Amino acid sequence: EPIYFITGNKHKLLEAKPIAEKYGFIIVQSNYPKHEIQDSNILNIARHAALNAYMNLKKPVLVEDAGLFIDALKGFPGPYSSYVFKTIGITGILKLMENIVDRKACFKSAVALIYEPFIISVLEKTCGIISREPRGEQGFGFDPIFIPEGSNKTFGEMSIDEKNKYSHRARSVEKAFSTLKQYFKN
């Protein structure tokens, strides 16, 4: 039975799919609308959306909620990343950081996975720096301005496989599916 990934974002599906498959799970995108509450905690956002979808679909569901937390901006845009990306965008963030030397930022990823009788929630992060200029056409969102620790490339310059070696989402999805697989064994 497939797991329904409640997301409007195809990139997220493409990133998560190979990781789930490694553990023997198939995920497919669902067009059920992600029910997004407003909360400062992305794990709460993911959990609520997963419960909402599960209660309606009554099938295995996966929700992932992510955000970019910039140190010098006290964690902004964080849980507002989607709105900030759509409004001021990458240009706006770079403008806000024009005279800021401390470029440190972390992407956080919260996963809520409901697969009866199990419910798994995971929070992971990847830290790095905000680049001075956007680089690369791959990925989505803030990928062109984020350079993860351990690389010189932005996420925007990486293939899915390479981004998955570093990303917050790869870490959270990996942990969620390895945990699920473990539960099935026991």
Q: Annotated catalytic sites, by residue? A: 65
Distance, in Å, from the CA atom of 20 to the CA atom of 7, rounded to the nearest integer, reads 16
- Quote the distance between the C-alpha of residue 38 and its chain's center: 17
Which CB sits closer to Na ion, 29 or 82?
82
Angle at CA of residue 168, ends 14 and 74, nearest 5°: 130
Q: Choose which of 52, 81, 154, 172 interacts with ligand ITT (CB under 6 A).
A: 81
Do 110 and 45 meet the contact criterion of CB atoms below 8 Å apart? yes
Site for ligand ITT in 27-46 (CB under 6 A): 34
CB of 54 to Na ion, least distance (A): 18
Residues touching ligand ITT, count (CB under 6 A): 21
> Token pair for residue 32?
């059920």
155 binds, among ligand ITT, Na ion, none (CB under 5 to 8 A by kind): ligand ITT
How many residues sit close enough to Na ion to count as binding (CB under 5 A)? 1
**Using CB under 6 A, which residues numbered 50 to 69 contact ligand ITT?**
65-68
Q: Is 142 in the site for ligand ITT (CB under 6 A)?
A: yes
- The closest of 34, 23, 26 to 110, measured between CA atoms, is 34
Q: How many CA atoms lie within 13 A of 76 on its CB side?
A: 13
The site map against ligand ITT for 104-123 (x = CB under 6 A) is: ---x----------------
DSSP states of 15-62 as a string? Answer: HHHHHHHHTT--EEEE-SPP-----S-HHHHHHHHHHHHHHHH-S-EE
Selection from Na ion, ligand ITT, none that 69 binds (CB < 5 to 8 A by kind) is none
Query: Residue 134 and residue 154: Cα distance in Å, rounded?
Result: 8
Binding partner at 175 among Na ion, ligand ITT, none, C-beta below 5 to 8 Å by kind: none
Place of tokens 């409901």: 114
Applying CB under 5 A, among 29, 82, 151, 179 the residue interacting with Na ion is 82
**Stated length of the chain:** 186
Binding site for Na ion (CB under 5 A): 82
The residues of the shown chain that bind ligand ITT, judged by CB under 6 A, are: 7-9, 12, 34, 65-68, 81-82, 85, 107, 139-143, 155, 167, 169
